[in-house]
Amino acid sequence: MEHLFFGYSAKPSILRETMHSVASGLTDGAHIAHSVSWEDLLVDGRLIVNEVEKAIDRCTVGLFELSTLSHNVLFELGLAIGKRKRVAILIDSQDAGAIKALRDFALLVTTGTTSYRNAEDLSKEIQRILDAPPLSLWDDLTDGAELPPPDESKLFYMPSFKEDEASRRLSRTLDSYEKFAVTNVDLDEYGGTPLAWFAEELFMSRVAVFHMTPERAFLSDTANARASLLAGIARGLGREVLIVIEDTAKTAIDYRDLALRYRNAADLEKRAVGWMENLRPPTQRAATRVRKHLSVELAALRFGNHVAESDQEGLDHYFVETRDFRDVVDAAATIFTGKKGTGKTANMLQAAEALRSDARNLVCVVKPASYELEGLLEVLKKIESRHLGDYLIEGLWKYLLYTEVAARAVEEAESRPAGVPSGSPLDQLRQCLEDQHRGSEASFSIRLERLVKSLDGALSKGVDEHDIESSRQSVNAALYGDTLKTLRNLIGSALFERNRIAILVDNLDKAWHRGADLELLSRLLLGLLTVVGRIVDEFKKESSRKTSVNVTLTVFLRSDIYAFVRDHAREPDKIATTEIEWRDTELLARVLEDRFLASRTKSQNASDLWDNAFVRTVRGIPTRDYMLSRVQPRPRDLVFFANAAVLRASNAKHERVQENDILEAENAYSTFAFEALLVEGVATQIDLEPVLIEFAGENSIINEPRLTRILKASSSISSKDNLVVILRRLGFLGIETSESAFDYGGTEGEMRRANVLARKLTKAFRKPQRYQIHPAYRPYLEIGEI
């Protein structure tokens, strides 16, 4: 006999009445011993979350109505999942908005739902469910496999999507506790990640912190709904959970007793420190990650994580080397750009490993956190004159990179059995760091924080910006510029025998978010791009007092950010770049095929993936061709799509991935791609969401007059021509360059070439110019295929 728990929203009233009447009327039904709803719980004078947990503990099946995506109901569903309960997700089949909202929510897109029309229909559906009770959703997510015990040192952290001062301080506070290894799950990277990945990450963590996004912020509804579900799972798993919320925000009643409410950034930092201090310290070192496995039929179909930072171990086995990768290793270029998901970080990580394999190289990886860059921006805002600001920017990058090289050199030497010989050049370098730069153990973050405080102190004393010489001397003193010459000489003496000192800079896009001062941030990044050549040249110089050192500096930057920075450069043509692209579909297919082969115990051909693991065709097209044609040409998108299809097939207990699994996964991928597009659109300084939504329900091919009408509603935001350029650069729109062939090239050169071909085509056929919406966004926007 089953014990049922019903979770549903209090609003609208008609939904509440329907659900409560059904819950009350089922108590005498077949298979049912007891039925209770949240309204039946006696919670007066008790912690609400405890009473809800007790009710879910007692139930055998949880039924959760998600038509409104109530944060309370999502949290309760998460509790039930974490407690390994069998669950059913209910949704009003006549509410088109609810169906779309659940799809946009994304986390449950591969999880089956039960649709109903009214109370009588719902009662029948529930009886049908109980006739063949579902398995625990947790078992579906983990495929029934045993996972290793939680890592006592691991902290799962989902930051606010609004990267304001409060978010920055919380991130810095959590990072400062070195006893915990923080897994930072940014929504712009992991927003559409399958629930199975989150389930494993939460299971492996001991602590979970969720910073709710302020309601006034971009994508707050989606971000907070996802956080509510994941917080419930963490609580159900027995993890220590903290939910951080602005004190003026509405709090879901179910988890208000878990919430840390704050008035301002300083208040949040104080409260967060208090909460962290009360956590007992980890009792074990980080555990080795053990991968779970699917059934034999689908064992080969784990393609790794679509986010490179979360798949470093896997990349060692199946990373696809391209010309761009060789350029990084060979230092053939200094700036690598690419769209979100093209593999910039993967190239950086693998290049670092390849370079480290030669003991003659020293590799320095620099990945500033967003709050660190924003701290610099606050200092720069206090400087009015351009000359002094640019001087400061170049000086601080020079200081940070010099000290990073010195610290990594000493750290590497100390890790060797022989250590650092007393009196040696390395020992002198170590002593210099200890005396003047917080020592070799000081992280990049610590040195940067110290630098910000030094600059802030110097500027607060007052600097005459009109006196160029004296103002530069003040800034130079704050930047410890008088020590850099000594540091440069010591680095030369200690490292002149090295084959190469490779500095790789990544993560610069983290501070590039809606609401940031993009013009000032572009100056900060431009300063780095400018100083690259100067640092390399400085280390090449040789004299009686300094030895030449082969230093290479490579910067990885998102292409939309680079385009913005380039527009603000005085001499943009002097900035040499290489753009990472995946025009070759055969090379892109290898991203999946090499991962497939890496997971096989026996040698097989890549064709086995498409012949045996996937259904042969989708909508009459070979599956390989279909999947490649529906995604933006970048590894992250293809891996996400493939993983979503495998998860859907696994949940449906299919022996191979079927056509319907792929089509369902395409819907999940489209939501993921759309959200990624909004993040990339930040650099345009235009809110693209209302612009893109105007395309909903259109046909995939649009002529010029129709496109003009669609964009007319956005004419107050930007000119039509400017919007078209932006949408083409982001890969949303392709322009027809030959009969029924559309070009989605995003670089300036590609777009100019496509414009010429398009102009000649329209002239030859005497018809309006045509555009096509990329297949990646069609399911989300319900675009008609032509």
pLDDT tens-digit series, residues 37-58: 888 775 655 557 788 888 899 9
Residue found under tokens 């090379």 = 587
- Rounded to an integer, the average pLDDT of 506-530 is 78
CA distance 602 to 288: 25
Q: How distant is the alpha carbon of residue 16 from its chain centre?
A: 36
CA distance 348 to 351: 5
For 143-199, write each residue's pLDDT tens digit.
655 667 788 889 999 999 887 788 888 988 898 888 888 888 887 777 667 788 888
Whole-structure pTM value? 0.75
* Helical (H) or strand (E) element with 157: strand 154-158
Amino acid letter, 199: A
- Check residue 631 and give its pLDDT: 95
CA distance 551 to 572: 24
Instruction: Inform me whether the pLDDT recorded for 287 exceeds 50.
Output: no
Instruction: Inform me whether the pLDDT recorded for 603 exceeds 70.
Output: no
Instruction: Inform me whether the pLDDT recorded for 500 exceeds 70.
Output: yes
Residue found under tokens 């691991």 = 154
Decide if 244 contacts 268 (C-beta within 8 A): yes
- Rounded to an integer, the average pLDDT of 691-700 is 92
Residues sharing a CB contact under 8 Å with residue 737, sequence separation 6 or more, in sequence order: 743, 754, 757, 758, 761
Write out the two tokens for 43: 């919670």
CA distance 63 to 380: 54
Within 10 angstroms of residue 496's Cβ, the number of other Cβ atoms is 14
Helix (H, G, I), strand (E, B) or coil at 137: helix
Nearest alpha carbon to residue 652 among 392, 318, 294, 153: 294
Q: Which contacts (CB < 8 Å, 24+ apart) does range 264-272 have?
A: 264/166, 265/164, 265/165, 265/166, 265/168, 265/169, 266/169, 268/166, 268/169, 268/170, 268/244, 269/169, 269/170, 269/172, 269/173, 272/169, 272/170, 272/173, 272/174, 272/244
- Check residue 777 and give its pLDDT: 96
Instruction: Inform me whether the pLDDT recorded for 96 exceeds 90.
Output: no
Decide if 384 contacts 460 (C-beta within 8 A): no
Helix (H, G, I), strand (E, B) or coil at 653: coil
For 323-372, write each residue's pLDDT tens digit.
888 888 888 878 888 888 888 888 899 999 999 999 999 999 988 876 67
The least confident of 302-311, 514-523, 553-562, 674-683 is: 302-311
Phi, psi of 501 (to 5 degrees): -110, 105
- Check residue 620 and give its pLDDT: 95
Helix (H, G, I), strand (E, B) or coil at 681: helix
Strand 733-738 and strand 770-773: pairing?
antiparallel
In angstroms, the Cα distances linking 409 to 358, 412, 442 are 15, 5, 13
Helix (H, G, I), strand (E, B) or coil at 115: strand
Angle between helices 484-495 and 518-540 (to 10 degrees): 50
- Check residue 586 and give its pLDDT: 92
Nearest alpha carbon to residue 147 among 93, 111, 197: 197
Helices and strands counted in the chain (H then E): 32, 21
In angstroms, the Cα distances linking 473 to 22, 395, 488, 580 are 77, 12, 19, 41
- Rounded to an integer, the average pLDDT of 601-615 is 81
Please provide the average confidence, as pLDDT, over all residues in the chain: 84
Instruction: Inform me whether the pLDDT recorded for 297 exceeds 60.
Output: no
Within 10 angstroms of residue 656's Cβ, the number of other Cβ atoms is 15
Residue found under tokens 């890592």 = 151
Q: How confident is the model at residue 293 (pLDDT cuts 50, 70, 90)?
A: very low
CA distance 732 to 683: 15
Q: Which has the higher per-residue pLDDT, 781 or 314?
A: 781
Amino acid letter, 498: R
Q: How confident is the model at residue 246 (pLDDT cuts 50, 70, 90)?
A: very high
Write out the two tokens for 521: 């941030």
| Sign of the torsion angle spanned by Cα atoms 312, 317, 320, 323 | positive
Write out the two tokens for 156: 């799962």
**Strand segments (E) across 93-195:** 114-116, 154-158, 181-184
Decide if 489 contacts 545 (C-beta within 8 A): yes
Instruction: Inform me whether the pLDDT recorded for 301 exceeds 70.
Output: no
Instruction: Inform me whether the pLDDT recorded for 230 exceeds 90.
Output: yes
CA torsion 559-565-568-571 (nearest 10°) is -80
**Strand segments (E) across 163-296:** 181-184, 207-211, 240-246, 259-262
**Strand segments (E) across 588-628:** 617-618, 621-622
Instruction: Inform me whether the pLDDT recorded for 286 exceeds 80.
Output: no
Helix (H, G, I), strand (E, B) or coil at 215: coil
Q: How confident is the model at residue 296 (pLDDT cuts 50, 70, 90)?
A: very low
The least confident of 128-142, 153-167, 274-288 is: 274-288
Decide if 320 contacts 634 (C-beta within 8 A): no
Nearest alpha carbon to residue 334 among 578, 528, 562: 578
- Check residue 774 and give its pLDDT: 96
Nearest alpha carbon to residue 515 among 97, 101, 163: 163
The least confident of 20-34, 233-247, 282-296 is: 282-296
CA distance 513 to 131: 50
For 668-678, write each residue's pLDDT tens digit.
899 889 988 88
Nearest alpha carbon to residue 532 among 516, 564, 508: 508
Helix (H, G, I), strand (E, B) or coil at 91: strand
CA distance 426 to 106: 53
Within 10 angstroms of residue 428's Cβ, the number of other Cβ atoms is 16
CA distance 774 to 338: 18
Decide if 90 contacts 244 (C-beta within 8 A): no
- Rounded to an integer, the average pLDDT of 379-404 is 83
CA distance 137 to 144: 10
DSSP 677: H
Instruction: Work out the percent of the chain whose per-residue pLDDT is above 70.
Output: 90
Helices (H), 361-465: 370-380, 386-414, 425-436, 444-460
- Check residue 146 and give its pLDDT: 61
Nearest alpha carbon to residue 154 among 227, 207, 82: 207
Instruction: Inform me whether the pLDDT recorded for 127 exceeds 90.
Output: no
- Rounded to an integer, the average pLDDT of 87-97 is 87
- Check residue 602 and give its pLDDT: 64
Q: Which has the higher per-residue pLDDT, 535 or 653?
A: 535
Decide if 233 contacts 182 (C-beta within 8 A): no
Helix (H, G, I), strand (E, B) or coil at 44: coil
- Rounded to an integer, the average pLDDT of 436-460 is 78
Strand 2-7 and strand 61-65: pairing?
parallel
CA distance 757 to 762: 9
- Check residue 534 and give its pLDDT: 85
For 611-625, write each residue's pLDDT tens digit.
888 999 999 999 999
Q: How confident is the model at residue 280 (pLDDT cuts 50, 70, 90)?
A: confident
Nearest alpha carbon to residue 69 among 31, 95, 37: 95
CA distance 71 to 288: 34
CA distance 670 to 103: 10
Decide if 615 contacts 656 (C-beta within 8 A): yes
CA distance 515 to 682: 9
Write out the two tokens for 47: 């912690």
Within 10 angstroms of residue 251's Cβ, the number of other Cβ atoms is 18
Query: Does residue 12 have a cis peptide bond before it, meaning omega lies within 30 degrees of 0?
Result: yes
